[in-house]
Structure 1
Amino acid sequence: MWLAVIAVLIGLAILVWSADVFIDGATALATKFNVPGFLIGVLILGIGTSAPEMVVSVLAALEGSPDLALGNAYGSNIINIALVLGATVLISPIVIRKDIVKRDLPLLLLITALAAWQLRDGVLSLADGLILLVALVIVLTIQIVQSLGESRSKNKLAVKDQNSLKISPENPSEPSFSIGSVDNKDTGYVEPSLVRGLSSLFIGMLMLVISSRAIVWGAIELATLWGVSELVIGLTVVAIGTSLPELVSSLSAARKGEHDMALGNIIGSNLFNTLAVVGLAAIITPITANPIILSRDVLVMGLITLALFVMCLFAFVSNRKFGRASGFTLLAGFTGYTIWLIQTANV
């Protein structure tokens, strides 16, 4: 028992440190290649911080524990929005951009609806798993193409604005500006190092996964000693443990002013959990799901995702930030779900 407690405590300490390293690496790469922060959040942070969910669910499927695999994925999705994002916006409110309510959140709603539809008969087959993985490829392609297109448009506008600042030869006394030239000595700007960015990203991601696994192992050991069911372990202990990278990474990104990266992390992680984590588990072995997963957990996942879309849409239309009121609402939803889960724990 004491070994499990030590694994959890040390894992948490390493997790906090590795998240900072991970965010620093992602930010450096985004700056180096002029990639939008939201895209970095969706691809690198979203997928990278979902690695623990993927490892746990794949192992659970291989060991014949489908409830643990699904509970981990869907429980993590609920926690990512209700707890992780709720806590993040309490610290640092997020400005909602048009494409988030026009493209990204509707896409997440559509994928969530697909997950619910596939579970209508209580079985996830090999075909269902393949559909989820094909959908993942399509979603990632859409995200990459559109985000890079938006980045190129912004760059063109920036070049146009800088061109307008150029002074004609008739006014030699006025300062002239040259596109793309920055006096590093005067501004103190330091060009991000590619090697350093990649190293920070790799080390941070590796330590995130290792520390999360230590936390999950210790938590499962403790929960097993208390006689908690496999599904409840997946929805609570494992889901919270594997969502710790998302929590720490999002809080770290928000603290550093990378708001798009924080929101992109949540959306990307949930997309990856639903499509890749569940898809891989279903391909390994067909999953016969506990009926309560659809009537309780998938229902809550759908409602909390819809609530996120509505609150973000309201923030965008009213020209307000997605902030503390929404954060408290999401945390209240997480509390209500947890109470419901405890009450139905023996079902």
Structure 2
Amino acid sequence: MLIASFTLLVGFVVLIVGGELLVRGAVRVAERAGMSQLLIGLTIVGFGTSAPELVASVEAARSGSPGIAWGNVVGSNLANSLLILGTASLILPMVVPRGPLWRDGGLALIATIGLWIVARTSGITIAVGFGFLTLLLAYLGYAYWAEKTQPVGASALHEKAESLEVADTHLHDEQPLWRSILTLLVGMVMIVAGGRWLVQGAVEIAFIIGMSEAVIGLTVIAIGTSLPELVTSIIAAYKGASAVALGNVLGSNIFNLLLIGGVTAVISPGSIPIEITNYGLPLLIAASLLLMLFAATGRKISRWEGAILLFLYMVQLIYNVVAV
């Protein structure tokens, strides 16, 4: 048990640090290649913050543990919608731009409902995975086109989030290109290694304590891989840019569902564990609807609404551990 816990902890740390290095190196290389901040925010930053979830889910699927993979996807989005937005709204009430709410939040909700319907009927197939990936490409293309003229959506908010991070870390200081490439490569190696250790530790712990892999994915793995989004959103709220947290979460939810869910379906088609089909996905749908309801009323998420989101996350977390 001690060795498994240590492996899990080391995997978390290496995964998070690797994801940070991946984003830093990729953004710097992209800038040197002439990519716009808008495109960097929409693609590299969005992908980078979801890299821990991606690597953990892919490693779990490849290792024959689809419960951890899908539990991570659904659990990370629950953590994003309830834990992260609840915490950020407690720090500073969150102003909600209407465009990103309905476009990005709506897409994440539709994708969640679609995944739930497929899981209850035909099961997860390779075709479903490629469908999710195609939808992601279409979303990125449309969002980039739309925000070239009106940059108020998720990509612009991702760009602002990246600006907040680099303001503290002097990312834009001049440095040789080779160093940026090295940072990128080191980050890639670390997230692969960290994801492998994370899954190994989680599987061993689940076996020792008798907890299902799906519940481990919904709780421990999901919280750990959501740490980059949590840190970014807290920093944004403290700096008075609470809307950045919303953009960060909406973008991450879409990447989690369409990119990670799509890749997982392609690698490991089959059925989704019953804990996720009967509990995790319906709860995520309800949380998404509640979040959009809060955001639509008064165009902001107030502190008391944030407290409700945070309370609901704690309740479902306890229920997961005790009853599921």
Q: Same fold, TM exceeding 0.5?
A: yes
AA of the residue aligned to 1:264: G
Q: Say if 1:42 and 1:269, in contact at 8 Å, map to a contact too.
A: no
**What residue number does 2:285 align with?**
302
AA of the residue aligned to 2:318: I
Counterpart Cα distance in 2 of 1:289 and 1:20: 30
Counterpart Cα distance in 1 of 2:181 and 2:94: 27
**What residue number does 2:95 align with?**
95
The verdict on how the C-alpha distance between 1:69 and 1:18 changes in structure 2, with shifts beyond 3 A counting, is closer
Q: Deviations over 1:129-162 (max 9, x none)?
A: 111111111111122222222149xxxxxxxxxx
Instruction: Give SS of 2:150's match.
Output: helix
The verdict on how the C-alpha distance between 1:17 and 1:249 changes in structure 2, with shifts beyond 3 A counting, is farther
Q: Say if 1:90 and 1:328, in contact at 8 Å, map to a contact too.
A: yes
Counterpart Cα distance in 2 of 1:46 and 1:70: 20
Displacement of 1:271 after TM fit? Answer: 0.8
Q: Does 1:334 align with 2:317?
A: no
**What residue number does 1:124 align with?**
124
Q: Deviations over 1:223-242 (max 9, x none)?
A: 44322121211111222222
Q: Which consecutive residues of structure 1, in runs of 5 or more, have no partner in the other structure?
A: 153-189
Counterpart Cα distance in 1 of 2:20 and 2:235: 6
The verdict on how the C-alpha distance between 1:8 and 1:290 changes in structure 2, with shifts beyond 3 A counting, is closer
Counterpart Cα distance in 2 of 1:81 and 1:261: 14
Q: Say if 1:19 and 1:249, in contact at 8 Å, map to a contact too.
A: no
**What residue number does 1:58 align with?**
58
The Cα RMSD (Å) is: 3.6
Counterpart Cα distance in 1 of 2:151 and 2:209: 51
Instruction: Give SS of 1:50's match.
Output: helix
The verdict on how the C-alpha distance between 1:4 and 1:75 changes in structure 2, with shifts beyond 3 A counting, is same
228-237 or 143-152: bigger deviation: 143-152
- Larger Rg belongs to: 1
Counterpart Cα distance in 2 of 1:202 and 1:95: 37
Counterpart Cα distance in 2 of 1:342 and 1:50: 25
The verdict on how the C-alpha distance between 1:10 and 1:280 changes in structure 2, with shifts beyond 3 A counting, is closer
TM score, norm. by length of structure 1: 0.72
Work out the percentage of aligned pairs sharing the same amino acid: 36
Given candidates 255, 265, 273, the residue that maps to 1:282 is: 265
1:75-224 pair list within 5 angstroms: 75-121=75-121, 123-151=123-151, 193=174, 217-224=200-207
TM score, norm. by length of structure 2: 0.76
Counterpart Cα distance in 1 of 2:213 and 2:207: 9
Displacement of 1:80 after TM fit? Answer: 1.4
The verdict on how the C-alpha distance between 1:10 and 1:81 changes in structure 2, with shifts beyond 3 A counting, is same
Counterpart Cα distance in 1 of 2:191 and 2:58: 18
Q: Say if 1:23 and 1:249, in contact at 8 Å, map to a contact too.
A: no
Given candidates 323, 328, 337, the residue that maps to 2:302 is: 323
**What residue number does 1:157 align with?**
none
Q: Deviations over 1:173-200 (max 9, x none)?
A: xxxxxxxxxxxxxxxxx98658698888
Q: Say if 2:206 and 2:213, in contact at 8 Å, map to a contact too.
A: no
**What residue number does 2:235 align with?**
252
Counterpart Cα distance in 2 of 1:264 and 1:100: 7
Richer in helix (by share): 2
Q: Say if 1:23 and 1:252, in contact at 8 Å, map to a contact too.
A: no
The verdict on how the C-alpha distance between 1:131 and 1:65 changes in structure 2, with shifts beyond 3 A counting, is same
Given candidates 232, 240, 244, the residue that maps to 2:223 is: 240
The verdict on how the C-alpha distance between 1:151 and 1:67 changes in structure 2, with shifts beyond 3 A counting, is closer
Counterpart Cα distance in 1 of 2:227 and 2:62: 24
Q: Say if 2:119 and 2:271, in contact at 8 Å, map to a contact too.
A: no
Instruction: Give SS of 1:286's match.
Output: coil
Instruction: Give SS of 2:108's match.
Output: helix
AA of the residue aligned to 1:235: L
**What residue number does 1:313 align with?**
296
The verdict on how the C-alpha distance between 1:130 and 1:34 changes in structure 2, with shifts beyond 3 A counting, is closer
Q: Say if 1:45 and 1:265, in contact at 8 Å, map to a contact too.
A: no
Q: Say if 1:22 and 1:202, in contact at 8 Å, map to a contact too.
A: yes
Aligned residues: 301
Displacement of 1:270 after TM fit? Answer: 1.1
Q: Which consecutive residues of structure 2, in runs of 5 or more, have no partner in the other structure?
A: 153-170
Instruction: Give SS of 1:325's match.
Output: helix
Counterpart Cα distance in 1 of 2:180 and 2:242: 19
The verdict on how the C-alpha distance between 1:34 and 1:138 changes in structure 2, with shifts beyond 3 A counting, is closer
AA of the residue aligned to 1:259: S
Displacement of 1:215 after TM fit? Answer: 5.5
